[in-house]
Structure 1
Amino acid sequence: MRLKPVPDPPADLDALREYQRAVPLVPGDTDDCCARLRRRRDLPDRQTANDWLAFMRALDLVEETSRGFSRADAEPTPERVREGLREGVLLVPEALAALDDASPADPVTAADLFAATRDRVPRHDRARDPDWEATWRDRAARLLGWLALVDLAAPVGDDPDSPAAGTGYVAGDAR
C-alpha cells in the first residue's frame, strides 16, 4: 500500500533524523505520537504531525504495531529514503518515469507532474477537498523536493539550490 502524505522536505537528512527521533521508542497511540511530534518539531497542528508520522512509516523509519507507533531501529540514509519513496509513497513511480523522460531543456515541474498524475488522485480526495487541484499541485512540488533531497531528482534552472513550485527537475544521479 502506498501512502499519500508528503510533508515539506527538510533541508537535509539530519533534519529528517530529528523528526524520526521525535517518535517514541516505546509504542504510543497516534494522538500521543502526534502530540510529541508537534512539541519536539514545533509543528503547527495535529494533521501536519499525522502526515509526518504516516510519511515516516512509508519510509520504514516508524513502525506501526498493535500498541501504536514507535521509532524504527533504522537510520534515514539516502538509500533507505530512496527505497521508502519508491515503495511506499503514492505517485513516486510516475514521478520517476517523468523525470527519466525530462531533459534540462524540458524539465519536469510540479505543474507537469500534477498534470501527468491528475487522473490517479483518489476519488475521495477530489470529493472531500473543493480545492483538490491546488492541494495535489502543492503535493507534487513537495514530492519533487523529496526526490531531489535524495538525488533521485536534480533541480535545474536559475537557482537549483532553491527548489520551488516553478523549479524544473530532471533525473538525479541516484536514479
Structure 2
Amino acid sequence: MRLKPVPEPPADLDALREYQRAVPLVPGTADDCCARLRRRRDLPDRQTANDWLAFLRALDLAEDTSRGFVRADAEPTPERVREGLREEVLFGPEALAALREASTDDPLTAADLFAATRDRVPRHDRARDPDWEATWRGRAARLLGWLALVDLAAPVGDSTESPEDAPGYVAGDAL
C-alpha cells in the first residue's frame, strides 16, 4: 500500500534528518510521536505531524512496531529517499514516468501531474474535502519538490516562484 501524505519538502537532507530525529528512539503511540514532532519541529498542528510521521515511515526512517512508532536506525540518504518515493508514495511512479516524457520545451508541472492522476485520487478523499482538487494539486507540487530534492527531477525556469506556480520539471540526473 502506498502512502498519501507528502509534507512540504525541506531545503536539504540535513533538515530531513532533523525530522527523523524528532521521532523517539523508545516506541511511543502515534499521539505521543505526533506531539513530539510538533514540539521539536514547530509544526502547526497534529495533522501535519501525522503526515510527517507517515512520510518518514514511507522513507523507512521511522517504523510502526507492535509497541508503537520508533525512529529507524537508517540515514536519510538520497538513495533511501529515492527508493521511498518510488516504492511507497502514492503517485510516485506516475510522477517519475511523466518526468521521463517531459522536456525543457514541455516540462511537467504540478497541474500536469494532478491531471494525469486526478481520476485515481481515492474516493474518500474526494468525499471528505470539498476543495480536494486544490489539495491534490498542492500535493502534486510537493511531490515534485521532493523528487527535485533528491535529483529525480530538475526544475525548469525561475526557481524563485512558488512550487505550484513554477514552470515545471524535467527528469533529474538520478532518474
- Give the TM-score taking structure 1 as reference length: 0.97
**Contact 1:58–1:88 under 8 Å retained in 2:** yes
Instruction: Map 1:28-107; keep pairs closer than 5 Å.
Output: 28-107=28-107
Q: Deviations along 1:19-62, whole A, 9 cap, x unmatched?
A: 00000001100000000000000000000000000000000000
CA shift for structure 1 position 127 = 0.6
Give the equivalent residue in structure 2 for 1:160.
Answer: 159
Q: Once the 2 structures are TM-superposed, how far is the Cα of residue 160 of structure 1 from its aligned partner?
A: 3.2
Aligned twin of 2:24: 24
Please tell me the residue identity of whatever aligns with 1:165. E
Q: Which residue of 2 aligns with 1:124?
A: 124
Identify the residue that residue 136 of structure 1 maps to in structure 2. 136
Q: State the alpha-carbon separation in 2 of the partners of residues 44 and 26 from structure 1.
A: 24
5+ residue gaps, structure 2 = none
2:26 and 2:117 map into 1 onto residues whose CA distance is 38
**Residues 13, 96 of structure 1: alpha-carbon distance in 2 compared, 3 angstrom cutoff:** same
Post-superposition shift, 1:126?
Answer: 0.5
Contact 1:57 1:64 in 2 (8 A): yes
Deviation at 1:163, TM superposition (A): 5.6
Amino acid aligned to 1:37: L
Residue 162 of structure 1: CA displacement? 5.6
Q: 1:52-76 CA deviation, whole Å, 9 max, x = no partner? A: 0000000000000011100000000
Instruction: After TM superposition, give the deviation of residue 164 of structure 1 in Å.
Output: 1.6
**Structure 1: any 5+ residue segments left out of the alignment?**
none
SS at match of 1:155: strand
Aligned with 2:79: secondary structure? helix
CA distance in 1, matches of 2:115, 2:19: 31
- AA partner of residue 166 (structure 1): D
Distance change (3 Å), C-alpha of 1:73 and 1:162: farther
Q: How many angstroms apart in 2 are the aligned matches of 1:137 and 1:35?
A: 28
Q: Could you say what secondary structure the match of 1:63 adopts? A: strand
Letter of the structure 2 residue corresponding to residue 133 of structure 1:
E
AA partner of residue 123 (structure 2)? R
